[in-house]
Structure 1
Amino acid sequence: MRTSKTRLASGAGDGGAEGSGGRQWARADATRHALLTAALQVFADRGYADAGIAEIVERSGISVGSLYHHYGGKAGLYVALWEDLTAEQEASAAQAVSAARKDGESDPIALFTAGARAYLRVCWERREAARLFLAGEGPSGSSLMRRSRAQHWIAQNTKLLRGPSGDEPAGRPEQVLSLVLTTVIGEAGREIATAENETEAAEIIDEVCRILIRLAR
């Protein structure tokens, strides 16, 4: 998105080829956004297995040819939505940890909890997408994709919880603790995504963070 804005700005003054390229980039970005928005709606309404390309195309107002050009089909849309959500969760958690460090926090458990809170907040803010992926339904290979992602999160959490010694190999107790805490966060995300309202979601997040601190210590 930053690239498209730069191109549009640089070409706006002279109307040259760079401006034309920026407009094409922006149109492609708008097309992808419309397709992903429609796909999420249809997946949420029908479930992945029963979702149809025709309905996604109808809701998006984009041609079926463009859908296949950008995503290759229904599975590609699912993967793109999943990658978008997980990237936002990871970025939000990383930003929270970084902000806590800048404020002078050095306790690994406090930093871990700050990241977990931010991650869980995204589960509420993006609850429609979170519900879709937490349900476990998806195209062939999606379970492996989620398992690989979980392993990545466990490794990151293990490193964070170990503090200054995070670059050294972790022992079995530390690995198991990280596995348990990451699993708690994942299950909590499911509850938060299905909460009745924001107040309930916030209460669950607060309680989960208290539990994480007790378990980690």
Structure 2
Amino acid sequence: MSGVMRSAGAARRLPGGQGDPGVPEGDTGQNRTVRRALLDAALEVFTERGYTDAGLTEIAARSGIPVGSLFQHYGGKRGLYLALWEEFREEQERRTSATLAAERSRGVDDPIALFVAGARAYLDGAWDNRRLGSLFAQDDGPAGFDALRRQWDRAWVRRNARLLEVDERRRAGRVRVSVLTTVIGGAARELGDCGDETEAREIVDEVCGILIRLSVRR
């Protein structure tokens, strides 16, 4: 598993190790179509109204899927939100992993160069998927989501420490990686408010420069 990214595979696991209820086994073409329609509608409503004020009736109406099917596939509003989060995480993981693999295949083995390349890929993904990124940056999610996100944050820091070859037993090293990871996360949130792609690219370039300077050991 690459660094830079937060853990993607745990999105169906809730705090305490419980699985997300309501997601059926099996994945027929019809089920995929129904789930896509529900997730697209949920993203629209969550973005417009926030998680707390979003209504399942409105989500079902916009998707054209009965409320009963919504519960069958996702178990309710919380399941929809977590599924959107998982989708965002998985796409970011795919993007950063592909970037790191390509860099290594070119012979790049410098830890800082790899870290910054992965960070750029992550930030590019945050811009491309800014509607989802902006949704998860809000302090308005389902119960238990903050604890789950903190768990992912800790895993993200650990992966970045391995990528940067930092000794996690040393407090100074842990703090440095935590700061670098926080810089990436903060920049990703800023990208959600960018007016256009030119501004977004300027931010990504600036942040990557900051990461290089902060990563170099004095």
RMSD of aligned alpha carbons: 1.4
Instruction: Indicate conservation of the 8 Å contact 2:51/2:140, yes or no.
Output: yes
Query: Which residue in 2 is equivalent to 1:216?
Result: 215
Tell me, yes or no, if structure 1 residue 68 matches structure 2 residue 71: yes
4+ runs deviating over 3 angstroms: none
Q: Which among 138, 153, 157 is matched to residue 135 of structure 1?
A: 138
**Cα deviation 1:116-162 (Å, max 9, x = unaligned):** 00111111111001000011210100101110111111000000001
Structure 1 distance, partners of 2:192, 2:152, is 19
Determine the structure 1 residue equivalent to 2:45.
Answer: 42
Residue identity (%): 51
Could you report, residue by residue, the CA deviation over 1:80-122 in whole angstroms, capped at 9, with x for unpaired residues? 0011101111221111111111111111000000100011111
- Distance in 1 separating the partners of 2:50 and 2:168: 41
Residue deviations 1:48-89 (CA, integer Å, cap 9, x gap): 111000110010001111100010000000000011101111
Q: Which residue of 2 aligns with 1:202?
A: 201
Match of 1:8 in 2: none
Q: Does 1:112 align with 2:115?
A: yes
In 2, Cα distance between the equivalents of 1:99 and 1:67?
39
* 1:154 pairs with 2:157: yes
**What does residue 172 of structure 2 align with?**
173
Q: Following the alignment from structure 2 to structure 1, what is the Cα–Cα distance between the partners of residues 66 and 137? A: 29
1:102 is aligned to 105
Q: Counterpart of 1:185?
A: 184
SS at match of 1:140: coil
Distance 1:145 1:47 in 2: 19
Instruction: Give the AA of the match of 1:178.
Output: V
| Cα deviation 1:178-205 (Å, max 9, x = unaligned) | 1000000000001112110111111100
Unaligned ranges ≥5, structure 1: 1-21
Amino acid at match of 2:161: T
The answer for the alignment partner of 1:90 in structure 2 is 93
How many residues are treated as equivalent by the alignment? Answer: 191
Distance in 1, Cα, partners of 2:58 & 2:174: 45
Contact 1:158 1:170 in 2 (8 A): no
CA contact (8 A) 2:123 2:204 kept: yes
CA radius of gyration, larger in: 1
Distance 1:52 1:156 in 2: 37
TM-score, with length taken from structure 1:
0.85
Look up the SS of the partner of 1:122 in the other structure. Answer: helix
Q: Give how far 1:170 is off.
A: 3.9
- Is the counterpart of residue 78 in structure 1 residue 77 in structure 2? no
